Amino acid sequence: MSRIAYVNGQYVPHALAQVHIEDRGYQFADGVYEVCLVVDGKYWDLDGHLARLKRSLDELQIAMPMSENALRVVMDNVRKRNHLPSAMIYIQVTRGVAPRNHIFPVGLKPSLVMTVKPFDLDQSDAKAAKGIRVITQPDIRWGRTDIKSTGLLANAMAKHAASEVGAGEALLIRDGHITECSSSNAWIIDKDGVLITHPKSHEILSGITRETAKACAQELQLNVVERPFTLDEVKAASEMFLTSASSVVMPVIGVDSFKIGDGTPGPITKRLRESYKARARAL
Ligand code: PDD
C-alpha cells in the first residue's frame, strides 16, 4: 500500500511529494515542526502540540497556514488515508517559497507538509521494559531551542554520535549543566525520590510530554523540581528517564560508561509511564 503525504492542499503519493527548491525551509531552515502521537485513533496531548506549533510560528512571525480546526481535519485525513490507527504525525510549516534573501519576505504563503509513519505502543513498551543507554554530548545548538525549528543539524549530530556507539540518545551539556536530549527532555530522580528536570527557558524545547508527565507525577504525589542539574547529579541519581511524544516516558539505565541506579528501569519511572498511558487513554 503506498504512503500518502499532504503537501500544500493536496494528498499525494509519498514518493512524489515535493516542495520548490526555493522553499525557505530548504535554504534557511526557516520553519517549524511538530510530532504528534495517535494511538488507536486517539490523539495524545494534541491541544498542547497545536498550541506549541502556533507559539513557534508566532516567535518567527510566520502565519498559521490554516485554522487549528482545519489542521486537525488534515491530520486525521492523512492518517486515515494511510490506514494507520496508531501513528506519529509529522507537521512542518515553513515561511514559504521566495527568491533567496535573508530578510523575511512580506506576504508569503506558508508551506504546509504532513507525513505519517506507523507507531506501535507494544514495541515502545518492550523498549521501555529494557530501558536505553545515552551518551553525553556538548550542547552546541543555537540560543532559541524553545522554538521547534527544523534547524536540527546539531541535534542530528549528537544523536548520530550516540547511535555510533549503540546508545539511544545524547544527553546535552551546556555551561556545566544538562539541558535536555537531542530529541527529548531529560529527567533524573534523586535519592529522596524527587523528580528534577530543566526549567522552561530558551535553552530547552518545552516538551508537551514533559508537561503531562508533570501532571502525572502530581497525581502520583511525587515532588517535581524544575532546575538545571549537573552530570554529577546524574551519576548520583537513583533513576533517570526521558520524555517525548515518540518515546512517551523512557527509562535510562546508563550514561556514558556508568550505570543509573542498579542499571535497570527504575520503579518510579515505570509507574510514571503507566500513569501517562492511562491518562492519555482516558482523555
Ligand atoms: N522531539 N526536546 C527536543 C529537542 C525535542 O526535539 C523534543 C521532541 C522534545 C520533547 O517534546 P515533546 O514531548 O513535545 O515531544 C524535547 C520530537 C518527538 C522529534 O523531534 O521527533
Residue 166 has pLDDT above 70, yes or no: yes
pTM of the model: 0.97
**How are the residues of the chain apportioned to helix, strand and coil, as percentages rounded to the nearest 5?**
35, 30, 35
Whole-number pLDDT of residue 254: 98
Last residue of a domain, one of 119, 137, 162: 119
- Reported as a single tens digit per residue, the pLDDT across 233-271 is 999 999 999 999 999 999 999 999 999 999 999 999 999
Whole-number pLDDT of residue 2: 85
**pLDDT > 90 fraction of the chain, expressed in percent and rounded:** 98
Residue 1 has pLDDT above 90, yes or no: no
Give the long-range contacts of residues 69-78, CB within 8 A, separation 24 or more. 72/46, 74/6, 74/112, 74/114, 75/36, 75/43, 75/114, 77/6, 77/11, 78/4, 78/5, 78/6, 78/11, 78/114, 78/115, 78/116
Q: What is the mean pLDDT of residues 6-10?
A: 98
Nearest CA to ligand 1 atom 2: 184
Whole-number pLDDT of residue 282: 85
* Same domain for 138 and 83: no
Nearest CA to ligand 1 atom 16: 184
The total number of structural domains that make up the chain? 2
Last residue of a domain, one of 91, 119, 147: 119
* Same domain for 24 and 98: yes
* Same domain for 254 and 175: yes
Q: What is the mean pLDDT of residues 149-177?
A: 98
In CATH, what number is assigned to the domain containing residue 192? 3.20.10.10
Range of the domain at 265: 124-282
Lookup: cell for 47: 491541544
* Same domain for 152 and 95: no
What rounded mean pLDDT belongs to the chain? 97
Substitution site in 205, 206, 241, 248 for ligand 1 pocket (most atoms within 8 Å of beta carbon) = 205
* Same domain for 160 and 276: yes
* DSSP state at residue 66: S
Q: Taking CA 139 as the corner, what is the angle to CA 30 and CA 124, rounded to the nearest 5 degrees?
A: 85
From CA 51, how far away is CA 274, in angstroms rounded? 25
Whole-number pLDDT of residue 13: 98
Phi/psi for 91 (5° steps) reads -120, 125
* Same domain for 106 and 204: no
* DSSP state at residue 55: H
Lookup: cell for 105: 519576505
Substitution site in 90, 155, 244 for ligand 1 pocket (most atoms within 8 Å of beta carbon) = 244
- Reported as a single tens digit per residue, the pLDDT across 92-119 is 999 999 999 999 999 999 999 999 999 9
* Same domain for 271 and 154: yes
- Reported as a single tens digit per residue, the pLDDT across 34-78 is 999 999 999 999 999 999 999 999 999 999 999 999 999 999 999
Last residue of a domain, one of 68, 98, 119: 119
Q: What is the mean pLDDT of residues 168-185?
A: 98
Decide whether any atom of ligand 1 lies within 6 Å of the 197 Cβ.
no
Residue 283 has pLDDT above 90, yes or no: no
* Same domain for 155 and 108: no
From CA 59, how far away is CA 109, in angstroms rounded? 17
* Same domain for 214 and 173: yes
* Same domain for 209 and 184: yes
Decide whether any atom of ligand 1 lies within 6 Å of the 35 Cβ.
yes
* Same domain for 162 and 277: yes
In CATH, what number is assigned to the domain containing residue 78? 3.30.470.10
Lookup: cell for 77: 485525513
Phi/psi for 96 (5° steps) reads 125, -170
Residue 21 has pLDDT above 80, yes or no: yes
| Residue written as grid cell 498559521 | 64
- Reported as a single tens digit per residue, the pLDDT across 179-234 is 999 999 999 999 999 999 999 999 999 999 999 999 999 999 999 999 999 999 99
* Same domain for 263 and 184: yes
Strands (E), the chain: 4-7, 10-13, 31-39, 42-44, 87-94, 111-118, 132-138, 169-174, 177-181, 185-189, 195-197, 224-226, 239-244, 248-255, 258-259
